[in-house]
């Protein structure tokens, strides 16, 4: 197969970027999209040019490293698929393909297709866990969890933190990502005691990190390689509302300057 | 470098006295403690944020130590632990099928072909249950039955169902649990996280590890970080074979650099080849994807009886199929341990009975299980693995058997550590896949997650305190001379890589090294082949150092330079692996020497001369590494011939 690739090149965070066109040929349909870029990169190195920088690692759709907007779609045209799991057999031969980095206010470009996604980590740091110290746990069977609940929690926990939902959202919101973690821990009984604090902390962190607001475009779930369902966003909204209404944090939230001294 | 004239360490594992079952509890009661108010005066560096690193960093921070955690990934959650599919073992005996700490211990020791320490393995089995308790408390959505209790499956080398799992994404869920714990400590200011930062050297001062030299990948900034202790949790090195189940960035640099600074490397040649991976089809293929071993619970492995069979699998009648594992190892059948299953697959393919375009493949067939259990049950158990297979190969395993072949997967070898997980350099600890650990010559499925978390959550946080308690906290400017020397060495090496200025991609050398290692130091090894490798490796290394192009400088975000440094280390480390394989004149576990086999092709251990851990010490560039041994003593369980028939 052969393609004409238009790829975003940007030397550094502070520099301007632009699309550069590269023809590739002799590509087997059984190669993955990233393996095609590997071949192009080897060619570039052979010519003494800097190869295209992109994040990747596991190449099996689980680490969440790979991240490219392909022909306008985060992770490309195939639903429920990460870039590394996208095979060239899914593309029409002899076509043009544009490749660019995630575009979002919270994800500055570092080089070429690589962006800084640490804003996602900061959301988790604000409460995406159960605060249990090592050694404190009771026997694993002390609390039973209905299979349906465990399965639903798993569905949310399957998020790989890639940020495609943010890249797809016209507002650059991280609602689906945040909702997935909030929902997982709200469903599991172990996460219940902290649910109010958690949701308020994470939503605040989301705003602080520069993510936009959700205005119900639902582009996120379509782009999500793990197909995290939209209903978790509804659950996040419910969790937030009830937390804000009932918790002590609400008081602090309503009077944000109360602690200034 | 002061290592060349160093004496050989004693390799005293410092195993506590007392009966096997009491050693760990007794040791815990006897280790020195750091008082709660003093803990914050100690700084600990943890390199790695996988299961072992994240668990250790979080747990140490919970205790009150100041922790610096480093990862070359952009987020701790991307460590390769995330890719583990099948599950994690524990001796809960929730199934009432006869499991116990004793049985898990025996299975693991036997599975490792009696090349690991009894006391360590027993402790691992003992801690396994606490791990499950802790992970459940973290809100990890493990698989459950309809009554709400945890579900289990079986893995290779075990006749009980003791493996806990979360669909086919157990590693991901456990890692996200540890990542959550780490995130909590980052939020609390107890852990400083350094992402996209790679450790390139260890700082050793007066024989003690006191820090690391790191490079910030986004701009090439080199930094020296001091600490009272350094913990390496940097994972395994199986992708020295180029094609492996490991992530592409997995590498040996952290442990290899520590080895050059005086930490001895144990059993480097013990690398596991996993039997169930999707075979390679393409020259430019970058990775071999694992199909979880759990598939062998229900899938049946077979090849055609005839050589060079041309019919499609569905057209081959039962009578003309060879379910070779069931035939050769009736007691364990399709759940035979990994080394045995891998070698059996290689041998039927070598006979010309392999399937698929390359002939390097065997069938893994679910037709019978789908018939017996129904599509729903199979989908529940393996749905995502089926989907993954189809995605990669374009074939549908619901209708045609999967094709699988062995691939490099796990390194049992790693830095030598004592019972406290400390290396031969005082103050330097190694945990998770980075140490030589508890798996001997062959790791059983679902036991790496168990070991990484046992080390990180439960062992290191106790034993590290024992080391620190005997020493006052170091002051901030304690190691300027040693730090400056190491920093200069790192800068010089980077400059050398940049200066080569050739035109050959680094990738090419990695691929060639991988082919060479797979051929001579892979699933089966011979004296002649290993000697050949010792000639080829230095030649390839010379070509590398005159041929590569890193296409840019070191003071920028340069992904080629990163990779070049890792491949350069592989090119040196490969020689240590090969020497280890050459010197070990026996077959044990994953290490199969063609000269040492029984008449029917089974590996033959040589207990009289090789019942030991082999450790290798750095003696200088261009000088062969030095070998030393730690004898293994078996008091509880006498080594027997491993029999899975
Ligand atoms: C595909 C696959 C499936 C598996 N399935 C199972 C299973 O089902 N059950 C089981 O028990 N085991 C399984 N294993 C094995 C198991 O996953 C690993 O052995 C284990 O997760 C390793 O954990 P770790 O914490 O030691 O290292 P890793 O998770 O590999 O983490 C290494 C960390 O070190 C960092 N690092 C490395 N070098 C440096 C450096 N120089 N500077 C800075 N940071 C560095 C990395 O960024 C990363 O954070 C599987 C392995 C693979 C490859
Ligand atoms: S919700 Fe989906 S798209 Fe968003 S980070 Fe998670 S996996 Fe990626
Ligand atoms: S490279 Fe890991 S998800 Fe794509």
pLDDT at A259 over 50: no
Asked which of A195-204, B156-165, B268-277, B571-580 is least confident by mean pLDDT, the reply is: B156-165
pLDDT recorded at residue B4? 46
pLDDT at A253 over 60: no
**Strand pairing partners for B426?**
none
Candidate from B186, B503, B556 with C-beta closest to A48: B503
Where residue A257 falls among pLDDT bands split at 50, 70, 90?
Answer: very low
- Say whether B338 is catalytic: yes
CATH no. for A118-250: 1.10.1060.10
Within 8 A of B169 by CB-CB distance, chain A residues are 62, 158
Average pLDDT score over residue span B305-328? 95
Q: Is residue B154 exposed (0-12), middle (13-18) or buried (19+ Cβ within 10 Å)?
A: buried
- Rounded distance, CA B232 to CA B13, Å? 18
pLDDT recorded at residue B385? 86
**Distances from the Cα of B598 to the Cα of A211, B587, B606, angstroms:** 65, 10, 12
**Strand pairing partners for B364?**
B301, B402
Query: Between chains, do B73 and A53 touch, taking CB under 8 Å as contact?
Result: no
Determine what percent of chain A falls in helix, strand and coil, rounding each to the nearest 5: 40, 15, 45
From the alpha carbon of A63, which atom of ligand 3 is closest? 2
Domains of chain B: 275-408 (3.90.700.10), 482-617 (1.20.58.100)
Q: Is the CB of A236 within 6 Å of ligand 2?
A: no
Residue nearest to atom 3 of ligand 3 (CA): A61
Nearest to B127 by CA among B192, B59, B188: B59
Query: Between chains, do B458 and A134 touch, taking CB under 8 Å as contact?
Result: yes
SS3 (DSSP) at B152: coil
Q: Do domains A3-110 and A118-250 have the same CATH topology?
A: no
Percent of chain B with pLDDT over 70: 98
Query: Between chains, do A154 and B94 touch, taking CB under 8 Å as contact?
Result: no
Within 8 A of A147 by CB-CB distance, chain B residues are 144-146, 148
Interface contact A14, partner B, CB < 8 A: no
Query: Between chains, do A145 and B148 touch, taking CB under 8 Å as contact?
Result: yes
- Rounded distance, CA B341 to CA B326, Å? 11
Interface contact A140, partner B, CB < 8 A: yes
List of residues 6+ apart from B153 with CB closer than 8 A:
B86, B87, B161, B163, B165, B294, B297, B381
Q: Is the CB of A161 within 6 Å of ligand 3?
A: no
- Rounded distance, CA B640 to CA B643, Å? 8
pLDDT at B358 over 80: yes
- Rounded distance, CA B285 to CA A219, Å? 32
Query: Between chains, do A46 and B144 touch, taking CB under 8 Å as contact?
Result: no
Looking at the CA of B234, name the nearest ligand: 1
Q: Tell me: domain A3-110, CATH 3.10.20.30, correct?
A: yes
pLDDT recorded at residue A43? 95
**Pairing assessment for the beta strands B208-216 and B402-411 based on DSSP bridges:** unpaired
Interface contact A101, partner B, CB < 8 A: no
Within 8 A of B134 by CB-CB distance, chain A residues are 132, 134-135, 137
pLDDT at B63 over 60: yes
Query: Between chains, do A63 and B83 touch, taking CB under 8 Å as contact?
Result: yes
pLDDT recorded at residue A185? 98
pLDDT recorded at residue B579? 98
Residue nearest to atom 51 of ligand 1 (CA): B84
Domains of chain A by residue range: 3-110, 118-250
Candidate from A51, A63, A126 with C-beta closest to B82: A63
Nearest to A27 by CA among A41, A19, A39: A39
Is residue B611 within 8 Å of residue B631, measured between CB atoms?
yes
Query: Between chains, do A132 and B248 touch, taking CB under 8 Å as contact?
Result: no
Q: How many residues does chain B have?
A: 645
Q: What is the CA radius of gyration of chain A?
A: 21
- Rounded distance, CA B142 to CA B151, Å? 8
Return the number of other C-beta atoms located less than 10 Å from residue A233's C-beta.
24
Q: pLDDT tens-digit profile of A194-240?
A: 999 999 999 999 999 999 999 999 999 999 999 999 999 999 999 99
Q: How many CB pairs under 8 A join A and B?
A: 226
Q: pLDDT tens-digit profile of B534-567?
A: 999 999 999 999 999 999 999 999 999 999 999 9
Looking at the CA of A104, name the nearest ligand: 2
Q: pLDDT tens-digit profile of B391-430?
A: 888 899 999 999 999 999 999 999 999 999 999 999 999 9
Interface contact A1, partner B, CB < 8 A: no
pLDDT at A180 over 70: yes
State the first-to-last Cα distance of chain A, in angstroms, to the nearest integer.
67
Nearest to B137 by CA among A150, A188, A154: A188
Name the DSSP class of B455: I
pLDDT recorded at residue B479? 64
Q: pLDDT tens-digit profile of B19-33?
A: 999 999 999 999 999
pLDDT recorded at residue A247? 66
List the structure tokens of B356. Answer: 């698929």
Q: pLDDT tens-digit profile of A14-68?
A: 999 999 999 999 999 989 999 999 999 999 999 989 999 999 999 999 999 999 9
Interface contact A120, partner B, CB < 8 A: yes
Looking at the CA of A107, name the nearest ligand: 2
Candidate from A12, A65, A134 with C-beta closest to B59: A134
Q: Point out the catalytic residue in the list B257, B260, B338, B642.
A: B338
Query: Between chains, do B458 and A38 touch, taking CB under 8 Å as contact?
Result: no
Residue B154 distance to chain A (closest CA, Å)? 19
Interface contact A24, partner B, CB < 8 A: no
Candidate from B144, B173, B289 with C-beta closest to A147: B144
SS3 (DSSP) at B321: strand
Where residue A255 falls among pLDDT bands split at 50, 70, 90?
Answer: very low
pLDDT at B588 over 90: yes
Phi, psi of A9 (to 5 degrees): -115, 130
- For B359-412, the DSSP string reads S--EEEE-HHHHHHH-HHHHHHHHHHHHHHHHHHHS--TTTS-EEEEEEEEEE-
- Rounded distance, CA A167 to CA A155, Å? 21
Within 8 A of A158 by CB-CB distance, chain B residues are 169, 172
Average pLDDT score over residue span A180-197? 97
Q: pLDDT tens-digit profile of A130-165?
A: 999 999 999 999 999 999 999 999 999 999 999 999
Q: Is the CB of A160 within 6 Å of ligand 2?
A: yes
What value does the mean pLDDT of chain B take?
A: 95
Residue A24 distance to chain B (closest CA, Å)? 14
Out of B123-132, B331-340, B380-389, give the one with best mean pLDDT. B123-132
**Portion 55-84 of A in contact with B at CB < 8 A:** 55-65, 81
Within 8 A of B388 by CB-CB distance, chain A residues are 60-61, 85
pLDDT at B319 over 80: yes
How many CA atoms lie within 13 Å of B427's alpha carbon, on the beta-carbon side? 28
- Rounded distance, CA B338 to CA B442, Å? 8
CA B560 – ligand 2 centroid, Å = 28
Task: Find the residue in B nearest to A39 (Cα).
Answer: B284
Looking at the CA of B455, name the nearest ligand: 1
């Amino acid at each position: 197969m052969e393609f004409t690739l238009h790829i975003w090149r940007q030397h550094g965070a502070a520099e301007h970027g632009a699309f550069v066109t590269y023809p590739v040929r002799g590509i087997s349909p059984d190669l993955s999209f990233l393996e095609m870029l590997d071949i192009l990169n080897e060619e570039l190195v052979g010519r003494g040019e800097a190869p295209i920088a992109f994040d990747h690692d596991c190449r099996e759709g689980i680490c969440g490293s790979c991240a490219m907007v392909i022909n306008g779609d985060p992770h490309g045209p195939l639903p429920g698929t990460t870039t590394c799991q996208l095979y060239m057999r899914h593309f029409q031969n002899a076509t043009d393909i544009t490749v660019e980095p995630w575009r979002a206010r919270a994800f500055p470009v570092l080089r070429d297709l690589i962006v800084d996604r640490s804003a996602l980590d900061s959301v988790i740091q604000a409460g995406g866990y159960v605060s249990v110290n090592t050694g404190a746990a009771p026997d694993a069977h002390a609390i039973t969890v209905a299979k349906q609940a465990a399965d639903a929690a798993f569905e949310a926990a399957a998020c790989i933190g890639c940020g495609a939902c943010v890249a797809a959202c016209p507002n650059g919101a991280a609602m689906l990502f945040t909702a997935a973690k909030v929902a997982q821990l709200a469903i599991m009984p172990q996460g219940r005691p902290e649910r109010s604090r958690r949701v308020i902390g994470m939503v605040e962190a989301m705003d602080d990190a520069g993510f936009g607001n959700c205005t119900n475009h639902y582009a996120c779930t379509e782009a999500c390689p793990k197909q995290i369902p939209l209903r978790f966003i509804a659950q996040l909204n419910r969790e937030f509302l009830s937390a804000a209404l009932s918790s002590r944090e609400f008081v602090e939230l309503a009077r944000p300057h109360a602690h200034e001294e | 470098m002061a290592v060349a004239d160093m004496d050989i360490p004693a390799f005293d594992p410092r195993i506590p006295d007392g009966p096997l079952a009491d050693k760990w509890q007794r040791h815990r009661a006897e280790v020195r403690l750091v008082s709660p108010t003093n803990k914050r005066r100690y700084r600990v560096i943890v390199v790695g944020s996988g299961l072992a690193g994240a668990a250790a960093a979080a747990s140490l921070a919970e205790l009150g130590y100041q922790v610096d955690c480093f990862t070359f990934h952009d987020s701790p959650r991307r460590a390769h632990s995330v890719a583990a599919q099948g599950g994690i073992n524990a001796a809960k005996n929730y199934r009432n099928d006869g499991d116990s700490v004793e049985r898990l211990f025996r299975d693991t020791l036997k599975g490792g072909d009696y090349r690991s320490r009894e006391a360590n393995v027993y402790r691992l089995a003992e801690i396994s249950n606490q791990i499950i308790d802790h992970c459940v408390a973290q809100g990890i959505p493990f698989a459950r039955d309809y009554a709400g209790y945890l579900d289990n499956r079986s893995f290779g080398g075990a006749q009980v169902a003791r493996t806990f799992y979360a669909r086919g994404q157990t590693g991901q869920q456990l890692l996200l649990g540890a990542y959550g714990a780490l995130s909590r400590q980052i939020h609390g200011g107890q852990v400083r996280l350094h992402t996209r930062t790679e450790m390139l050297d260890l700082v050793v001062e007066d024989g003690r590890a006191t820090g690391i030299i790191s490079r910030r990948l986004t701009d090439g900034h080199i930094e020296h970080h001091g600490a009272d202790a350094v913990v390496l949790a940097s994972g395994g090195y199986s992708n020295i074979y180029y094609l492996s189940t490991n992530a592409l960035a997995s590498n040996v640099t952290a442990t290899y650099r520590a080895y050059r600074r005086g930490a001895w490397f144990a059993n480097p040649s013990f690398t596991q080849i996993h039997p169930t991976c999707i075979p390679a089809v393409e020259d430019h293929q970058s990775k071999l994807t694992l199909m979880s071993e759990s598939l062998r619970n229900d899938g049946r492995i077979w090849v055609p009886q005839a050589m060079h069979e041309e019919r499609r699998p569905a057209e081959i009648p039962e009578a003309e199929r060879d379910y070779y594992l069931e035939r050769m190892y009736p007691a364990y059948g399709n759940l035979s341990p990994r080394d045995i299953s891998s070698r059996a697959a290689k041998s039927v393919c070598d006979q010309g009975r392999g399937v698929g375009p390359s002939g390097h493949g065997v069938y893994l067939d679910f037709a019978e299980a789908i018939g017996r259990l129904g599509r729903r049950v199979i989908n529940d158990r393996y749905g995502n693995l089926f989907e993954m297979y189809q995605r990669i190969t374009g074939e549908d395993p619901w209708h045609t058997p999967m094709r699988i072949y062995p691939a490099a997967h796990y390194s049992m070898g790693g830095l030598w550590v004592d019972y406290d997980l400390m290396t031969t350099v005082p103050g330097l600890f190694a945990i998770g896949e980075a140490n030589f650990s508890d798996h001997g010559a062959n790791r059983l499925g679902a036991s790496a997650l168990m070991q990484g978390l046992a080390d990180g959550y439960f062992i290191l946080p106790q034993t590290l305190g024992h080391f620190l308690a005997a020493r006052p906290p170091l002051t901030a400017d304690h190691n300027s001379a040693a730090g400056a020397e190491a920093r200069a060495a790192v800068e010089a090496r980077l400059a050398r890589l940049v200066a080569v200025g050739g035109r050959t991609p680094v990738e090419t050398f990695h691929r060639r090294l991988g082919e060479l290692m797979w051929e001579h130091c892979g699933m089966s090894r011979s004296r002649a082949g290993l000697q050949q490798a010792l000639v080829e490796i230095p030649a390839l290394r010379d070509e590398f150092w005159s041929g590569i192009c890193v296409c840019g400088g070191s003071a920028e975000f340069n992904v080629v330079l990163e990779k070049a440094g890792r491949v350069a280390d592989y090119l040196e480390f490969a020689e240590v692996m090969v020497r280890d394989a050459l010197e070990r004149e026996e077959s044990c576990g994953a290490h199969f020497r063609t000269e040492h086999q029984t008449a029917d092709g089974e590996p033959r251990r040589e207990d009289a001369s090789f019942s030991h851990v082999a450790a290798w010490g750095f003696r200088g560039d261009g000088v062969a590494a030095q070998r030393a041994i730690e004898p293994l003593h078996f008091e509880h369980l006498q080594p027997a011939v491993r029999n899975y028939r």
